[in-house]
Structure 1
Amino acid sequence: MFSLQTIFGQGMQFYTLLEAAANAAHDSTKALHGMLRDTQRSPSLDAFKLARQREREASDKISRELVNSFITPIEREDIEALGTALYKIPKQVEKFADRYSLAITHLEGIDFAPRAAMLEQAAAVVVKMVHELRNMKLERMKELNDELRSIEMEADRLMLELYRDIYSGKLDHLQMFLLKEFFEILEKAIDRCREAGVVAYEIVLKNS
């Protein structure tokens, strides 16, 4: 049964839910960066599971609200697209954390923290972009989009350095395989942030 608030409201709950999803994604990247900085402690996956649970809850609520709401502040397709893009970020982060916890004994001396820091920065920019949807200020959103693009470009540059390390001959075959796999997962996570940012930017372009 529909409530009057749902029927006649302005759909502002969608902004709140998208912000919750973006915050959950950012929290997962902060947890990953923290885990990779603290190499003396055994990896714990609790923070990643919690972030993914929060993300799923936000995603489910968005889906329900899209069914129940007559009014949305932006197009339904855009809400769905942004919700889906945000959902993919902690999913990719958790994939890294799960595999890292299993392979950590083979990764001694390999420092993933700088790349994880860039992922955390990218997710923080996505949070800002999602919050800016309430304002629909194109100039501010363009600044954030440019910032996110710069992070992505720097991540691409670091990937080239990675390949030099892989083919340097200093690593055994297992380490070469693991190094390539883990950095590619991180790269894809940054790409997921970029994709979410592009959706948010395009929403503002359409509505400003």
Structure 2
Amino acid sequence: MFSLQTIFGSGKQFYLLLDEAASAAYDSAKALHVMMKAADRQPALDEFKLARQRERAASDKIGQALVDSFITPIEREDIEALGSALYKIPKQVEKFADRYALATQHLEQIDFAPRAAMLEQAAGVVVEMVHELIRLDIDRMTALNDKLRSIENEADRLMLELYREIYSGKLDSLQMFLLKEFFEILEKAIDRCREAGVVAYQIVLKNS
């Protein structure tokens, strides 16, 4: 039985659930950066799986809230789109961690920390953007969107440098494959952050 508050409420629960989803995505990126900075860089996959579980739980709650609520603070399609975009971030990070655990012995000389730091920064901006949704402050959101775009552009520049190294002829075939594989996963994770930021920005543009 639905309460009147559930049916006609302000929809504050959607902002809280989106905040939780964004925080879980950030925690996943932060855990990866911490692992890449560690001296031994031994994979501890529990943190990534926990972040994915939190993200999945928030996603499920958002879906159920959309079913139960008659009124939403922003359009249902936008809530679904942002929830889906946020869900993909820790999924991509966990993909990196799982594969890294299988190939650790071949990756000791590869420094992933700078790109992992950029991923953490991007995920942090996404947290800020999602948290700002309730205010619909277009100036603040534009500044955050520009910051996220700048991080993405820097990541793209670093990828070009990586390709120069891959095709320099100094690496053997296994090193070339691993460099390309793992850095492209990280690049895609940053792209997932950018996609979530774009959705959040468009929500504010539409409703401000």
Q: SS state of the match for residue 83, structure 2? A: helix
Aligned to 1:160: 160
Aligned to 1:179: 179
Paired amino acid for 2:26? H
With normalisation by structure 2, the TM-score equals 0.98
Q: SS state of the match for residue 43, structure 1? A: coil
The separation in 2 between residues aligned to 1:49 and 1:151, in whole angstroms, is 26
Task: List runs of 5+ in structure 1 lacking aligned partners.
Answer: none
Deviation at 1:41, TM superposition (A): 4.7
Aligned to 1:108: 108
Deviation at 1:171, TM superposition (A): 1.7
The separation in 2 between residues aligned to 1:111 and 1:41, in whole angstroms, is 10
The separation in 1 between residues aligned to 2:143 and 2:18, in whole angstroms, is 20
Aligned to 1:48: 48
The separation in 1 between residues aligned to 2:124 and 2:42, in whole angstroms, is 26
The separation in 2 between residues aligned to 1:41 and 1:206, in whole angstroms, is 44
Aligned to 1:20: 20
The separation in 2 between residues aligned to 1:3 and 1:103, in whole angstroms, is 52
Paired amino acid for 2:152? E
The separation in 2 between residues aligned to 1:108 and 1:40, in whole angstroms, is 9
Paired amino acid for 2:171? L
Q: SS state of the match for residue 134, structure 2? A: coil
Give the RMSD, CA atoms, in angstroms.
0.7
Task: List runs of 5+ in structure 2 lacking aligned partners.
Answer: none
Paired amino acid for 1:92? Q
**Does residue 128 of structure 1 match 2:149?**
no
Structure 1 runs (4+) greater than 2 angstroms displaced: none
- TM-superposition CA deviations, 1:60-82 (whole Å, max 9, x none): 00000000001100000000000
Percent identity of equivalent pairs: 80
The separation in 1 between residues aligned to 2:43 and 2:186, in whole angstroms, is 17
Paired amino acid for 2:131? H
With normalisation by structure 1, the TM-score equals 0.98
The separation in 1 between residues aligned to 2:24 and 2:100, in whole angstroms, is 20
The separation in 1 between residues aligned to 2:76 and 2:8, in whole angstroms, is 16
- TM-superposition CA deviations, 1:101-153 (whole Å, max 9, x none): 11010112110110000000000000000000010000000000000000000
- TM-superposition CA deviations, 1:48-106 (whole Å, max 9, x none): 00000000000000000000001100000000000000000000000000000110101
Paired amino acid for 2:67? V
- TM-superposition CA deviations, 1:16-39 (whole Å, max 9, x none): 000000000000000000111114
The separation in 2 between residues aligned to 1:91 and 1:4, in whole angstroms, is 36
Deviation at 1:170, TM superposition (A): 2.2
The separation in 2 between residues aligned to 1:39 and 1:109, in whole angstroms, is 12
Aligned to 1:76: 76
The separation in 2 between residues aligned to 1:55 and 1:205, in whole angstroms, is 26
